[in-house]
Structure 1
């Protein structure tokens, strides 16, 4: 039996470009919130949040205190 009608909508997402990842890094350095970054870039806030989470690493400063830093991937 085959299904003729589908209730699945066609997905319309696009991947982030390297330029957009660089913009995210620059905006984060300026101290902008994830919502403001998403609004400026015309993306959903969850996209920015996931990218930040994916590209963040934990570092240790000179006083041995951990902090998190976002690094866009270099291709």
Structure 2
């Protein structure tokens, strides 16, 4: 259910900008948006995230974001 530009047609810069914007507006949509708005927001976010992961399968992962990193913080 692509609404807007197909994520495959976005430049890398545009894809990242769209992802950042969706993540910025997520909580407002969750707390105050209609059910339809939340469903659309979720669908679009998933489309863009899938495209990002396809383009960057070897993205840099912060070791602090892994279980081992969490264990080291709590020790």
The TM tier, using the shorter chain, reads 0.3 to 0.5
Q: TM-score of the superposition, structure 1-length normalised?
A: 0.33
| Structure showing greater relative contact order (alpha-carbon pairs closer than 8 Å, 6 or more residues apart) | 2
**As a proportion of its length, which structure holds more strand?**
1
Q: Which has the larger radius of gyration?
A: 1
| TM-score normalised by structure 2 residue count | 0.33
